[in-house]
A and B are shown apart, each in its own frame.
Chain A
Amino acid sequence: MSSHKQESESFSLKAKKGSLYKMEQAQKGLFILCTYTILLCAGVVFGTIVKKGAPILWAKGWDFIVSKPQSLSVMEVSAAKGLELSQKDYDLLHSENAHREDYLSLPFANEERFQKESSSMEFELQPESVLSEGYLGLLEARNKGFRPDFIARDETALVGFELTQDSTLQVNTETLGALRQSDLGGQELDVVTQSKEEKSFEVVFAQGRYSIDKRTYTALEPSELIFILEGRFADDDVATKQVECSIPHAQTLILSPTQVAASVDREGGFAVSEKKELVKTMETQAVTLKKGVYELPFHTLKTLVGANPAASFLHQHTFEKAPVRLNLKQAVSLTLSQAELAELEQNNPAVKIGAVKETKSYTPYVRFDIERDCELLAANQQQVALKDDNTKNEAFKIFSEYTHSYSGGGILGPIVGTGFLVIICMVVALSIGVAAAVYLNEYARKGTYLKVVRLAMMNLAGVPSIVFGLFGLGLFVFVAPKFTSKPSLDDKFQIPLLPVAGEPSLRKQESHLIYMVGESADKTESLSIASNTGFKRYYDGWYYLSFEGWGACMLAGGFTLAVMVLPVIITSCEESLRAVPMGFREASLALGASKWQSVRTAVLPYALPGILTASVLGITRVAGETAPIMFTSAVAERSLLPWEGLANTGFEGFIEFLSQSVQALPYHIYTVAGRIPQSEYTQPMQYGSVLVFLILVLSLAALSVYLRVKVRSKLKW
């Protein structure tokens, strides 16, 4: 009995203070505490984002995803009754204002939905019509699918313009003549004549070799001297940089005094054999025109506008480009609104319009009141619509407007851009990555080489992404090879590949070794000079593989991202290959399969789940990177989606598509959070974008887990 008691005393299971067991318990407690603290912090951060981002998502709903980023105007508007706005714009206006906390309710009242009648005119546009390009744009915008060829800009076509006040205009003889011929509404032309002397020089350039500096070269650019430059001037060269050149034959030119001063008879200029001063007396004339609407031939009007920068003309856009003569095979029927058609006819006297038919169409509209003076947020389009539709409403006043960039609209552009970047990146990274992993794991001899490669890969995986960004900038943006018939001046190196079909022509603007000055320089002459001097490479006539880089574009961004994830992808692909039992390879080989056959049929299929998960995880990493795309493809502002506004179709269109820069989600977040002026209006956008981004990333991660479970369960061994 007593011995039993003694035993139970000496044998105790009670944990003692300071025993290993106690310490382990304490450590465990500490770990749990740390985990919960971290989770709590993450929860707080995530909670804030959800709290601030959710209202805007809730208010805008799907619109937030499917509309482009826009600048938002804050308008102080007066109370007004009977405002009108199309239903679509009204709803957008609603959603822009709905998430604001400072309104208890929106100041809109008495909504009344109705169908607004608008009459559109269907008319026939006759062949041989001449109209100014601004109106051609209008026609194209209102009529989907109408994209006529035009033959030529017509400098002599009459263009309408409006003088907004009485003005005295400088005119030359030609303009005066044209004004006399045009219909001035019964006005008498009051002409005042002044005379002025104009000096110029007749300079003879002798054949020979010269050394000229950049100042000379710049001064002679708008003249007609033909010379061969044996080097090139870059934009950032100093004005005194000298380059050898030669004049192939003697030429006589008329130069202005400034040109002569800059380019002749000085250190770094041409030494000339003869110089003669010419003095011409110029008569200038001025006329006074009353405010009103007039017509002039385009080129005359251009001179007139050029000579009178201070005068105020309307329809300036029609002055930028000459009217064009349309190349229509037959009359086409088009539609415009009544007002637009009237304006078109007024400003384009040479447009030929056939049968006009009026059709009525109905758009859903809303009539509503603004109850009180208030502040409204409106994206550009709604702002314009609100103003345009309510010009006649006297009560409606806008007291002030401020624009806040990127505080409205949605994030369609960035989402789409990120989507394409990810697709390009994964196509490249997976094809290279899987191939590399297969090589390393199945083919390469185990040894030092493999160890070095693995070590390098491990290090690369840890390189900061900004370094990859710079790498991509250097390689893909500036140096990568491009197949083109017009290599850029900045190429590092080029290899001619195929002759271009058709006759070669000199690339005037682009060649720098053979420099042609002047528009009217004779082409055959320059061609012969070029071929005599042996600079054949500056002909069109070959397709080149030109190492000039792709520029900042989707392709460069995608490749940069691919280079960045490659180490990760290769490593995880290798892991999944290694997880395939050796027995499959041996069995397959023992059945008489070749190495590649075994890899293809008995190894790769079973590594697929791992590869899939790796690539989805790769996508989440790639989608979130800012640094690699910052220099290689991302832009802060871009109103077109990548597939909009392409000039080419087919393969060239595809190349053009890939050669655009895009908006990207992480870069957009960076822009709205740090690069634009901050205001209370931009903040919801920041949180909204971040929230959408987080949701995307989380769902991708969930997808990867799902894939792993799903595919794994099918292929188990």
Chain B
Amino acid sequence: MIEIDDVSFSYDRGKTNTLKNISLDILEKQVTSFIGPSGCGKSTLLRCLNRMNDLVDTSCITNGEIRIMGHDIHGKDVDAIELRKQVGMVFQKYNPFPKSIYDNVAYGLRIQGIKKKDQLDQAVEKSLRGAALWDEVKDRLKDSALGLSGGQQQRLCIARTIAVQPRVILMDEPCSALDPIATAKVEELITELRQEFTIVIVTHSMQQASRVSDHTAFFYLGELIEYGPTDRVFQNPEQKRTEDYISGRFG
């Protein structure tokens, strides 16, 4: 589904590479988790996948290419907006707009020019159900999204993302600001979403990675150290550094 092919990435016009020659394939309708110590470049790689790094003026891919279903996403005539419709993103700090719950979910569709009320209503309900939030908020769709709890807000952000029907959902530490119960709900949601979407998740929690993901990639200082099925990576890591990190001996 997503082929990352020998990619190097730099935040400062190629002076130093934040990512170094990374190659991995992300499989369709599977959950892939990125783990690694802080600052190793997990978020950077994730943000490369939907070209969010374009926001940083000085950033550039210095080597290799990223292909999504065979299309090079950094190609000359690639429409970054279209790409982001296909590759949605959920952020570490939940960031709903200060609007009503309904407007938040409908935002992406309205941006695409969909105005019909019933079409929007349907999509909003479907997305909220998809994000397992419908029952909690169906009576207060017009209330401000900021009145929801942290966990609900994060699930709202997920609902907002799936409303535009992406193929891939990128999640950057989606649970790091949540309490264990909210975390459990989001994890449950992720397992359900994998039926429909390809999911890439960055996490600092080993348990979470082992619970939700099918494949795990371990990064260290901008390099991919190990990549494989989660069970194998956690039970017999091939690399010494992976083992050390997983067992909490450094990091």
**Is the beta-carbon distance between A586 and B52 smaller than 8 angstroms?**
yes
Binds A, one of B63-71, B93-101, B205-213: B93-101
Chain B residues within an 8 Å CB radius of A717: 98, 146
Known: A583-B95, A584-B97. A591 touches B111 (CB 8 A): yes
**Is the beta-carbon distance between A602 and B97 smaller than 8 angstroms?**
yes
B32 at interface by CB-CB < 8 Å: no
B18 at interface by CB-CB < 8 Å: no
**Is the beta-carbon distance between A587 and B157 smaller than 8 angstroms?**
yes
Chain B residues within an 8 Å CB radius of A588: 97, 107, 111
**Is the beta-carbon distance between A586 and B111 smaller than 8 angstroms?**
no
Chain B residues within an 8 Å CB radius of A590: 50, 52, 84, 88-89, 91, 161
Chain A residues within an 8 Å CB radius of B50: 590
Chain B residues within an 8 Å CB radius of A715: 98
The docked-state distance in angstroms from the alpha carbon of A156 to that of B157 is: 89
- Cβ distance A716 to chain B, nearest Cβ, rounded Å: 7
Binds B, one of A47-55, A259-267, A592-600, A671-679: A592-600
B237 at interface by CB-CB < 8 Å: no
Q: Which of B91, B95, B161 has the most CB of A within 10 A?
A: B95
Q: List the A residue with the shortest CB-CB distance to B57.
A: A445
- Cβ distance B144 to chain A, nearest Cβ, rounded Å: 9
Mask: chain B, 39-58; 1 = CB below 8 Å from A; 0 = not: 00000000000101001010
- Cβ distance B94 to chain A, nearest Cβ, rounded Å: 9
B160 at interface by CB-CB < 8 Å: yes
- Cβ distance A284 to chain B, nearest Cβ, rounded Å: 91
Q: List the A residue with the shortest CB-CB distance to B54.
A: A589
Known: A590-B89, A592-B111, A597-B111. A581 touches B95 (CB 8 A): yes
The docked-state distance in angstroms from the alpha carbon of A506 to that of B81 is: 60
- Cβ distance B131 to chain A, nearest Cβ, rounded Å: 14
The docked-state distance in angstroms from the alpha carbon of A73 to that of B107 is: 69
Mask: chain B, 148-185; 1 = CB below 8 Å from A; 0 = not: 00000000010011001000000000000000000000
The docked-state distance in angstroms from the alpha carbon of A446 to that of B146 is: 32
**Number of residues from A at the complex interface, CB < 8 A:** 23
The docked-state distance in angstroms from the alpha carbon of A587 to that of B89 is: 8
**Is the beta-carbon distance between B112 and A592 smaller than 8 angstroms?**
yes
Mask: chain A, 663-695; 1 = CB below 8 Å from B; 0 = not: 000000000000000000000000000000000
**Is the beta-carbon distance between A592 and B81 smaller than 8 angstroms?**
yes
The docked-state distance in angstroms from the alpha carbon of A122 to that of B88 is: 82
Which A554-612 residues have a C-beta within 8 angstroms of B?
Answer: 581, 583-594, 597, 601-602, 606
Which B75-107 residues have a C-beta within 8 angstroms of A?
Answer: 81-82, 84-85, 88-89, 91, 93, 95-98, 107
**Is the beta-carbon distance between A591 and B88 smaller than 8 angstroms?**
yes
The docked-state distance in angstroms from the alpha carbon of A586 to that of B52 is: 8
Q: List the B residue with the shortest CB-CB distance to A606.
A: B98
Mask: chain B, 11-50; 1 = CB below 8 Å from A; 0 = not: 0000000000000000000000000000000000000001
B228 at interface by CB-CB < 8 Å: no
- Cβ distance A442 to chain B, nearest Cβ, rounded Å: 10
**Is the beta-carbon distance between A586 and B91 smaller than 8 angstroms?**
yes
**Number of residues from B at the complex interface, CB < 8 A:** 25
Q: List the B residue with the shortest CB-CB distance to A717.
A: B98
- Cβ distance B13 to chain A, nearest Cβ, rounded Å: 11
Chain A residues within an 8 Å CB radius of B160: 587, 591
Instruction: Select one of B55, B96, B157, B164 contacting A589, CB under 8 A.
Output: B55
**Is the beta-carbon distance between A583 and B91 smaller than 8 angstroms?**
yes
B130 at interface by CB-CB < 8 Å: no
Chain A residues within an 8 Å CB radius of B57: 445-447
The docked-state distance in angstroms from the alpha carbon of A446 to that of B164 is: 31
Known: A590-B52, A591-B161. A601 touches B98 (CB 8 A): no
Chain B residues within an 8 Å CB radius of A447: 57
Q: List the A residue with the shortest CB-CB distance to B89.
A: A590
Known: A445-B57, A584-B97, A717-B98. A589 touches B91 (CB 8 A): no
Which B225-239 residues have a C-beta within 8 angstroms of A?
Answer: none
Chain A residues within an 8 Å CB radius of B146: 716-717
The docked-state distance in angstroms from the alpha carbon of A496 to that of B57 is: 44
Mask: chain B, 107-121; 1 = CB below 8 Å from A; 0 = not: 110011000000000
Instruction: Select one of A446, A586, A601 contacting B95, CB under 8 A.
Output: A586
The docked-state distance in angstroms from the alpha carbon of A601 to that of B98 is: 11
Chain B residues within an 8 Å CB radius of A445: 57
**Is the beta-carbon distance between A591 and B108 smaller than 8 angstroms?**
yes
Instruction: Select one of A584, A585, A592 contacting B84, CB under 8 A.
Output: A592
Q: List the A residue with the shortest CB-CB distance to B51.
A: A589
Q: Which of A581, A588, A589, A716 has the most CB of B within 10 A?
A: A589
Mask: chain A, 467-498; 1 = CB below 8 Å from B; 0 = not: 00000000000000000000000000000000
Chain A residues within an 8 Å CB radius of B96: 587
Chain A residues within an 8 Å CB radius of B93: 583
The docked-state distance in angstroms from the alpha carbon of A587 to that of B99 is: 14
**Is the beta-carbon distance between B111 and A593 smaller than 8 angstroms?**
yes
The docked-state distance in angstroms from the alpha carbon of A446 to that of B111 is: 27
The docked-state distance in angstroms from the alpha carbon of A106 to that of B247 is: 99
- Cβ distance B142 to chain A, nearest Cβ, rounded Å: 15
The docked-state distance in angstroms from the alpha carbon of A586 to that of B107 is: 13
The docked-state distance in angstroms from the alpha carbon of A287 to that of B180 is: 119
Known: A584-B95, A586-B91. A601 touches B111 (CB 8 A): yes
Q: Which residues of A contact B (CB under 8 A)?
A: 445-447, 581, 583-594, 597, 601-602, 606, 715-717
Closest 4 CB pairs of A and B: A583-B95, A592-B85, A591-B108, A590-B89
| A-B contacts, 20 listed (Cβ < 8 Å) | A447-B57, A581-B95, A586-B55, A586-B91, A590-B84, A590-B88, A590-B161, A591-B85, A591-B107, A591-B108, A591-B160, A592-B84, A592-B108, A592-B111, A593-B81, A593-B111, A594-B81, A715-B98, A716-B98, A717-B98
Supply 11 further A-B pairs (C-beta < 8 A) apart from A583-B93, A591-B84, A592-B164. Answer: A583-B95, A584-B95, A587-B97, A588-B97, A590-B50, A590-B91, A601-B111, A602-B97, A606-B98, A716-B146, A717-B98
